[in-house]
Amino acid sequence: MSEWIQSIEGTAQGAQVALALALLAAFLHAVFGALQKGRHDPLLARGAIDIVYCVIAAPFAFFVVPWPEPHMWPIFIGVFLIHVPYKWAVLSAFRRGAYTVVYPVMRGTGPLFTIFGAWLLFGETFNAVQWIGVAVLLAGLYGLAAYNMAKITVARDTLIPALGFAVLTGLFVALYTTFDAYGIRATADPFTFLAWFFFIDGLLFPLLALRFYLRMGARPPLGPLALRGLAGGLIAPFSFGSVMLATRLDQVGEAAVLRETSTVFAALIGWLFLKESVGPVRTALMGLIAAGAVIVEAGG
């Protein structure tokens, strides 16, 4: 698999595979995001998810993939230092604001910052058509957040801090997307980066979640939390791994934009399986998100 990935880098086939991987990441990210909300505190859900993919990644990191080159260790330290505050910003936004409001703001801010980051770090640029696509996608995402904020009951006293943390999350999304793209391109075998990424990334938050759990007055049962962690821990490597591989095969900015169609997939999942109402306005806004992604990809 590693040799095949390396053989199609920078080719037309590589671009097509990157497109498929980015869309797969978008779908799985919608599922993954839903697992972090709901009946459990976001920190508990995050800790349960992280411990699962840390344990899964450990044998691959130590015994399967080639050992990281010496220059990779500072990169892994950078990965850790970026992803810790990113996760904390996500949890802070989810604790303070409605998921349907803060999630589109997170996802809309992320690709905008990522495009500029990819330009600074990799010299990648978007043409005029692609920028039109970005504008259409952002209009859909921010419009969806505004519509949900107007139509659902939200905690108004915490809404401004929640939106602030959502924008901060978008900044960290851009930072980790560009830095992780740099990391996965810096090693000969991309799966070396992925295995060590998930092992290192999963070390801290299970400990924070355990500390939080032990201090809780009314502790939730561990069974449902473990099931949520197992599901998320199995999905995360495919979700985040797919978009990382896409950034190695093709432009980082395009992969970031395509991933944000996760908002559309989240709504479709809610409509098809949870019988949630979508309505004509949300349908139109999701159409803008999808159209923006198509314009970006076609314009490239």
State pTM to two decimals: 0.84
Q: How much of the chain exceeds pLDDT 90, in percent?
A: 31
Q: Tens digits of per-residue pLDDT, 92-107?
A: 888 787 777 777 788 7
Q: Tens digits of per-residue pLDDT, 46-93?
A: 999 999 999 999 999 999 999 999 999 999 999 999 999 999 998 888
Q: Tens digits of per-residue pLDDT, 168-206?
A: 988 898 899 899 999 999 999 999 999 999 999 999 999
CA-based nearest residue to 76, from 175, 169, 182: 182
Coil/strand/helix, residue 127: coil
Q: What is the pLDDT of residue 275?
A: 59
Q: What is the pLDDT of residue 152?
A: 67
What domain count does the chain have?
1
300 CB contacts (<8 Å, ≥6 apart)? 126, 127, 130, 251, 254
Coil/strand/helix, residue 128: helix
CA-CA distance, 105 to 145, in Å (whole number)? 6
Q: Which residue segment(s) compose the domain that 113 sits in?
A: 2-299
Q: Is 70 exceeded by the pLDDT of residue 278?
A: no
Alpha-helix residue ranges (DSSP H) falling in 152-221: 156-186, 190-201, 205-215
Q: Which amino acid is at 239?
A: S
CA-CA distance, 297 to 237, in Å (whole number)? 24
